[in-house]
Amino acid sequence: MNLSPLQKARYQYQPKLPGMLRNGIADICVKEGDATQSVADQDKIKALFPNTYGKKEITFVKGTNTAVAKKQVVGVILSGGQAPGGHNVVCGLYDALKAADKNNVLLGFKGGPSGLLDDSYVEFTDEVIDQYRNTGGFDIIGSGRTKLEKTDQFMVVEDVAKKHGLTAIVIIGGDDSNTNAAVLAEYMAAKNTGVQVIGCPKTIDGDLKNEDIEASFGFDTATKTYSELIGNIERDANSAKKYWHFIKVMGRSASHVALECALETQPNICLIGEEVAAKKMSIAQITDYIANAVEARGNNGENFGVAIIPEGIVEFVPEFSALIKEINEMLAGSKTDEFNALPDWAAKYAFIKAGLTEESFKVFDILPQGIQQQLFLERDPHGNVQVSLIESEKLFSELVKNELAKRKLAGSYKGKFGQQHHFFGYEGRCAFPSNFDADYCYSLGYNAFMLIQYGYTGYLSKVSNLSKPAEEWNAGGMPITKMMNIERRNGEDKPVIRKALVELDGKPFKYFEAHREKWAIETCFTYPGAIQYYGPAEVCDLTTRTLALEKG
C-alpha cells in the first residue's frame, strides 16, 4: 500500500488518555454517582425502559479493578454519517480489550446496523487495526443508516449475538443511533441475553451534547477543516476585493458548526438558525440584514465579504416552515404523480398557486425560480420536501442581489455586488482527526470497554473536562435514557435523544453577538490555517472556541 508521509506519521501517533485510564486496566475501579432521570417525560420513558431507566452515573477512578474476569467477545458498528475519529474509537476499544486479556475478541460488523442483521463482519487483528490508527473516515468497516428499532430486528441481532457468543455490542453514532442503542439495550436486558449495549457520541453537527457530553466527536476536526477553508476564502476576498462569498456549512438541525466557524474566522455575516426562530425572522428580514452589511461595506469602497449560512437555516424561518408543511400536504398521496405529469413549469406554478394559502404563496413567490423548483425535487421516503437539497446560500445571495438592485435605483447603494457560492460538507467528515479528536475518540473507545468489563448496559461512553489537557480528562458513563424525551415522529410518539440547539444565552453565542456588528462592517477576518498535528501543545491540542468559551 502506498502511503503519504502524513499517513505514516499518524499511524505512529500515540493518543493521550485521561489520567485514570493510564494506570492500566488492573488499577481502575468504579465510583457511582446519583441515580438519573430523563430530561423530560419521565413517566413515559421509565415505562418504556423498565430494565435500564434510572441507573446511576459512574466515574472511573484509580483503585483495584473488581470486575469479574471473563472472556469478552464484543461487536462494534459505525452508524450514520462519517465523523473524524471513528477509527480511533474502534482502536481504543480493541486495545483495551487486548490489554485486559489477549484472548478477547472484537468483531466489526460491516455497513452499519445492517451488518448486525446480515451477520457480515470482520474479526479485528493487530494487522488490520494498525492500518487505521489516527485516520479519518469509517472505511475500516463502513457505515450505514439502517435503524434498529423493531422487535423482529432485535430478534435477528439476538440470534447473531448468540451465534458469535457476543458479550457486548458497541454502537458508535449520533442521537438517532444512540436512541437505537438504548432500545436495543432494553430488549437485551428484558430477554436476559447477557449482551450489553454501549453507545459512543458521534456527530460533526455538534447537536449531541448536554451537561454530561461536552462535545460529540468529529466536531473539532470538521469545524477546524471548514474554518481553514473559510479563512482561505476570506484572504482571497480581501485580496481580490470584488466578491461576496456565501458559504453554506453542515448543520441541518442546529447551527453549532456555523457558530464555531464564525468564532474561528470572524466573517461579516453568520446566520444562526436558533436566533432566526426565536425572533421569528422572515425571509425578507434576513435578506435586509445581509443587504445592510453589503450596502455599508460597498458604500465604504469594500465590495467584498463573507457570509456563513447553516445548512438547515430555512427550517428555522417560521413562514418557510409553514410553506414546507403546506407543500407536503398539497402533494400527499397521488397528488405527487398528478403534479409531475404537468407539462411545464408554468402549469406546475399554476397548480402550486391554487394549492397554497395566500400567505404561503407570497413566501413562495419571492423565491428565485431555481429555489422554487428545488422545493419540488425528489421527495424523501416519507413523501416530504428534502429541505437539505435547498441551496440556501444561493437563495440568500439572489435575494440580496435583488434587494440591492432596488436600493441602487433608490440611490442609497453605491457599490458593486458579485457573488460566489460554496458548500462545505463532505470536506470535513473524513479529515485526518485533529489531536483533540484522535485523543478523545481513543479515550471513548477505551472507556467503552471499561463499561463493558464492569457489566454496564444502556450507557453512553463519557469523557469530560475536555477543555483541559487530556491527563485531566474524566472518564465514566451515563445512562442513555438520561438524555431522552418523547417526540412525535411519523405520527407516533417515540422516545428519542433530545437534540442540543445553540443556546442563545450561552457564552459562545453571547461572544458572537457582542462582536458581530463590528465584524459586519469592518474587515476583521482571522485565518486559522490548516490543522496542526506536530508542534507546541497550544497550537496542536487546542480545542474549539465553543468549548473554550463554555468552560471559561
On whether the CB atoms of residues 459 and 479 are closer than 8 A, the answer is yes
Read off the CATH number of the domain in which 328 is found.
1.10.10.480
Element (H, E) at 108: strand 105-109
Q: How would you write 396-448 as a 3-class SS string? A: HHHHHHHHHHHHHHHCCCCCCCCEEEEEECHHHHCCCCCHHHHHHHHHHHHHH
Q: Using the CB atoms, write b or e for 432-453: b if 16+ within 10 Å.
A: bbbbbbbbbbbbbbbbbbbbbb
Q: Which of 175, 205, 439, 541 is catalytic?
A: 205
In 3D space, the residue among 63, 81, 220 whose CA is nearest the CA of residue 137 turns out to be 81
On whether the CB atoms of residues 535 and 237 are closer than 8 A, the answer is no
Interatomic CA distance for residues 401 and 290, integer angstroms: 10
- Is residue 293 domain-resident? yes
The set of cell numbers assigned to 464 is: 469530560
Both 206 and 351 in one domain: the answer is no
Both 228 and 212 in one domain: the answer is no
Q: Which amino acid is at 448?
A: A
Known catalytic membership, residue 126: no
Between β-strands 474-479 and 459-464, what pairing exists: parallel, antiparallel or unpaired? antiparallel
Burial environment of residue 192 by CB neighbours within 10 A (0 to 12, 13 to 18, 19 or more): exposed
3-state class (DSSP) for residue 26? helix
Both 339 and 439 in one domain: the answer is no
Both 548 and 483 in one domain: the answer is no
Interatomic CA distance for residues 409 and 427, integer angstroms: 40
Both 158 and 237 in one domain: the answer is no
Query: One digit per residue, pLDDT tens: the chain, 552 residues?
Result: 688 999 999 999 999 999 888 878 999 999 999 999 999 999 999 999 999 999 999 999 999 999 999 999 999 999 999 999 999 999 999 999 999 999 999 999 999 999 999 999 999 999 999 999 999 999 999 999 999 989 999 999 999 999 999 999 999 999 999 999 999 999 999 999 999 999 999 999 999 999 899 999 999 999 999 999 999 999 999 999 999 999 999 998 899 999 999 999 999 999 999 999 999 999 999 999 999 999 999 999 999 999 999 999 999 999 999 999 999 888 887 788 899 899 999 999 999 999 999 999 999 999 999 899 988 887 766 667 777 788 999 999 999 999 999 999 999 999 999 999 999 999 999 999 999 999 999 999 999 999 999 999 999 999 999 999 999 999 999 999 999 999 987 678 899 999 999 999 999 999 999 999 999 999 999 999 999 999 999 999 999 999 999 998
Both 506 and 456 in one domain: the answer is no
On whether the CB atoms of residues 470 and 245 are closer than 8 A, the answer is no
- Is residue 534 domain-resident? yes
Both 507 and 408 in one domain: the answer is yes
- Is residue 6 domain-resident? no
Both 211 and 318 in one domain: the answer is no
Both 141 and 39 in one domain: the answer is yes
The parent domain of residue 144 ranges over 20-218+433-489
The set of cell numbers assigned to 23 is: 494506570
Interatomic CA distance for residues 449 and 477, integer angstroms: 11
Both 449 and 467 in one domain: the answer is yes
Residue reference for cell 442563545: 504
- Is residue 533 domain-resident? yes
Provide the domain count of the chain: 3
Both 53 and 121 in one domain: the answer is yes
Q: Which amino acid is at 44?
A: K
Cα-based torsion angle of the residue sequence 27, 33, 38, 40 in order, rounded to the nearest 10 degrees: -140
Phi, psi (deg, nearest 5) at residue 440: -60, -45
